[in-house]
Amino acid sequence: MIANVASYCGHTEAGYRGLNKLWDTVKDTGAVEILAFPCNQFGKQEPEELSTIKRFAFEKKGVEFKMMSKIDVNGSSASPVYKYLKKVAGPASITWNFATYFVVSPDGEVHSFSGTPDPLELGVVIDGLIEREL
């Protein structure tokens, strides 16, 4: 699962809480990773350096999943990861932090979920992909 995140977003509390709960339900399967990409493109809500962002996420928000490099998700400077995800699954443009979640199946199929208020809701999708692989 891949998401763009920010430390000073109105969705920070709920987004990290949902991602943490989701991680708690899947981490022992060994079949799922959560990759969080900090992004400062929306309201300048992630202005800090990566070391500060990670300290905030790990110490203040209890994050145990992977925090990746700070990236852009839209425009010409968008990360190749996000360019690919948007190309194969949409949307054409990310609208905000914690607004679009990408779930990549073990066989590389990409599913995009926008407007999902709680990432924990995607647990059913992830469970289905895990069961499909077993």
Active-site amino acid positions = 9
Nearest to 100 by CA among 88, 113, 90: 113
Sheet of 110-114: strand order equals: 66-67, 35-38, 2-5, 100-104, 110-114
- Owner of token pair 């990236």: 71
Strand residues in the chain grouped as ranges (E): 2-5, 35-38, 66-67, 100-104, 110-114
